[in-house]
Amino acid sequence: MKSLILLSLAGGLLAVEAADPSPAEIDEIIRKFAAKESEFSKARENYTYRQTARIQELDMGGRAMGRWEMVTDIVFTDGKRTERVVRSPVPTLQNIVLTPEDEQDMRNVQPFVLTSKEVDNYYVRYLGREKVDEIGCYVFAVKPKKMEPGQRYFSGEIWVDDQDLQIVKTYGRARGLLKKNSDQQFPKFETYREQIDNKYWFPVYTAANDVLYFQAGPQPIKQTIKYEEYKRFRADTTITFGDEVKDPPPTPPAKPKP
């Protein structure tokens, strides 16, 4: 797969094909963006933000029936990062029940991060180049190599900025091992990121508009998650992104005066 770059030449347009990276270059791109994702994951732990999650049941005509909503603030209390529920109306869902797997997906899979620690657990296959909002990207197909009980995984496609080498978009579905005869279904979703503080690409919006096929019949749903008001936590210590924070060397004892 190749992409086209348009160049101006003698008042006209000349189409030039940008060659895909070689297999060795693809391996190096994967290594580098996984390292960048590790940096981003660590940096995000030092930010506060508000998360607004909503799920709606729809009838077959697309009209809203039941609803679930939760607004939480990710904050620091006594130096520890915690979640504080701001708003949680009584759910009115009629046909679906949120499970621990759904909560895991909203917390970890939908804002998918593929770090150096996790990348070996996935098959990562290069698909080509595309643009996301005028941002040149490498596109990869991602799926878990194997699944462990109690763990949730991402399966789908990721778009990696070809300059910053960070994920800017994901599209796919959460997967995992379920109990026998389980009737759980999980929607396809799309997550977008934006650059925060001119450094890392943070998730800002997740959307799912899908039909879940339960044993009792199809159930259309709509889900959105907004991540807003990112603010770097100001502590007494200085956090330097991308570099290891080292303790200062010990001060040598004062020499006794003669």
What are the pLDDT digits (tens) for 51-92?
999 999 999 999 999 999 999 999 998 888 899 999 999 999
- Domain housing 110: 23-47+98-232
Residue at 54 is within a domain: no
Residue entry with tokens 């749903």: 221
Ramachandran area for residue 197 (φ above 0: left; ψ -120 to 50: alpha; else beta): left
Residue entry with tokens 């508000």: 50
Question: Is the CB of residue 156 less than 8 Å from the CB of residue 169?
Answer: no
59 or 9, which is more confident?
59
d(CA 258, CA 256): 6
Judge whether residue 253 has pLDDT over 50: no
Residue at 253 is within a domain: no
Residue entry with tokens 């070689």: 22
Residue at 15 is within a domain: no
Residue at 142 is within a domain: yes
Question: Is the CB of residue 58 less than 8 Å from the CB of residue 221?
Answer: yes
Residue at 148 is within a domain: yes
Question: Is the CB of residue 206 less than 8 Å from the CB of residue 231?
Answer: no
Question: Is the CB of residue 67 less than 8 Å from the CB of residue 57?
Answer: yes
The pLDDT score that the predictor gives to residue 91 is: 96
Pairing outcome for strands 200-214 and 47-58? unpaired
Judge whether residue 212 has pLDDT over 80: yes
Residue at 89 is within a domain: no
d(CA 16, CA 19): 9
- Give burial (CB, 10 Å; 0-12/13-18/19+) of 253: exposed
Number of domains the chain contains: 1
Residue at 90 is within a domain: no
